[in-house]
Amino acid sequence: MQDDKRIAVLIPCYNEAATIGKVVDDFSAKLPTATVYVFDNCCTDGTARIAKEHGAEVLREPRQGKGFVVNSMLSRVDADYYVMVDGDDTYPADSVNDLLAPVLAGEADMVVGARLADYKDKSFRPLHVMGNKFVKGMINLIFGVRLTDILSGYRAFNRNVVNNVPIVSSGFEVETELTIHTLYYRLKLIEVQVPYGVRPKGSVSKLHTFRDGFRVLWKLFNLLRAFKPLTFFGSVCIFFFVLGILAGLPPVHDYATTREVTHHGLAILATGLMLLSAGSVFLGLILHAMNWRFKELHDIVVRGKR
């Protein structure tokens, strides 16, 4: 099935000299008809040279950050199907055909290699699993899905994803962006469980727990506000409404019992909170209608490119 399809293996790299040769060899062996692209993201340790020696095509992305690399990969590589994998040798090449099979069969637009069912004690840093589960829970709640791993860097996808999904992230929050965009544009996303290994000796993670964790949460907040405005501002509406009710109870009680209001400050506060509540829901409705129209225009533009 793969012989007449152009498959590209995309490997973003920043100083992965210790592992990149093995990663290129492993994926070349499993996908002999595919072209392996290594994107040199300002490497200073010989990663590009080693990748070339092992038969990969090396392209340079001068803007530092994984989000910039992913944007460059999707813009510069022309193929029918894509596999994206990190260059640190933590994702198994043995699973690549399991990821590709649903995409090649037209059963999914994107398949994510979910890691949280099978990993080693030292595969993740402290707090990483907790953060992943929090992000996963928020996305599952908002979009009504049951994903298990949002932040995996091991993915297979088709040209529908490349044509529909814009990438504006600069760093490690790009996986969150890929997932939410795929769901928002109603593309089919499924997961395949894969084992997740430990970085070999000499390979160092570039992920900063708190800095990059904050960026992921900020990206999640902004994307949910942009893509689900009625849900977001509806929640804000409910929050202000409940506070308004609580603030208004004493003034209402005053008037019901004495026909006078003595809690003037609470009465003013309750009025303001109710106005904020009403304004939030109306803003959510307006943005929801605008979003729907933009989605229709997006679909028309994408169809026009085919």
* pLDDT over 70 (residue 269): yes
Mean pLDDT of the chain: 88
Same domain, 205 and 248: no
| Count of the separate structural domains present in the chain | 2
pLDDT (average), residues 288-299: 75
Report the C-alpha gap between 302 and 165 in whole angstroms: 11
The answer to whether residues 11 and 56 touch, using CB atoms and an 8 Å cutoff, is yes
pLDDT above 70 for 20? yes
212-239 residues labelled b (16+ CB within 10 A) or e (exposed): bbebbbebbeebbeebbbbbbbbebbee
Q: Pairing relation of β-strands 35-40 and 57-60?
A: parallel
pLDDT for residue 204: 63
**What single DSSP character describes residue 196?**
B
**150: its two tokens:** 């949002």
Range of the domain at 29: 7-226
Distance, in Å, from the CA atom of 225 to the CA atom of 190, rounded to the nearest integer, reads 24
For the record, the structure tokens of 84 come out as 């994206």
Provide the pLDDT for residue 91. 94
Q: How far apart are CA 152 and CA 258, in angstroms?
A: 62
Q: Are residues 45 and 173 in the same domain?
A: yes
Q: Which two tokens stand for residue 214?
A: 């904050």
Last residue of a domain, one of 177, 193, 226: 226
pLDDT higher than threshold 70 for residue 263 = yes
Is residue 62 situated within a structural domain?
yes
Predicted pLDDT of residue 189: 96
For residue 1, is it within any domain? Answer: no
Q: What number is the average pLDDT over the span 214-230?
A: 82
Given a contact cutoff of 8 angstroms between Cβ atoms, the answer to whether 154 and 128 are in contact is no
Residue 182 included in any domain: yes
Q: Given its phi and psi angles, is residue 84 left (phi above 0), alpha (psi -120 to 50 degrees) or beta? A: beta
Residue 102 has pLDDT above 90, yes or no: yes
**133 pLDDT more than 80:** yes
Of 98 and 127, the one with more pLDDT: 98
Residues 24 and 58 in one domain: yes
Is residue 58 within 8 Å of 51, Cβ to Cβ? Answer: yes
Radius of gyration of the chain (CA): 24
Select from 226, 251, 280 the last residue of a domain. 226
How remote is the C-alpha of 264 from its chain's centroid?
Answer: 48
Note whether 290 and 208 are same-domain residues: no
The model's confidence at residue 192, banded by pLDDT at 50, 70 and 90, is very high
Q: Please state whether beta strands 35-40 and 7-13 pair in parallel, antiparallel, or not at all (unpaired).
A: parallel
Give the CATH number for residue 209: 3.90.550.10
Burial (0-12, 13-18, 19+ Cβ within 10 Å), 48: buried
Give the model's pLDDT for residue 225: 85
Q: Residue for token digits 């813009």?
A: 75
Residue with tokens 């000299």: 17
Distance between CA atoms of residues 42 and 48, nearest Å: 10
Residues 126 and 105 reside in one and the same domain: yes
Q: Note whether residue 257 is domain-resident.
A: yes
> Which of 226, 256, 291 lies at the terminal end of a domain, its last residue?
226
Is the domain of 289 the same as that of 181? no
CA distances from 65 to 17, 70, 269 (A): 18, 9, 46
Residue 241 and residue 273 in one domain? yes
User: Is 2 a domain residue?
Assistant: no
In a domain, residue 159? The reply is yes
Arithmetic mean of pLDDT, 63-84: 94
pLDDT at 7: 97
Sheet holding 81-84, edge to edge: 57-60, 35-40, 7-13, 81-84, 155-158, 110-114, 189-193
- Answer whether 131's CB lies under 8 Å from 213's CB: yes
Is a pLDDT exceeding 70 seen at residue 186?
yes
| Tokens 């298990």 found at | 148
Q: Where are the beta strands (DSSP E) in 121-277?
A: 155-158, 189-193
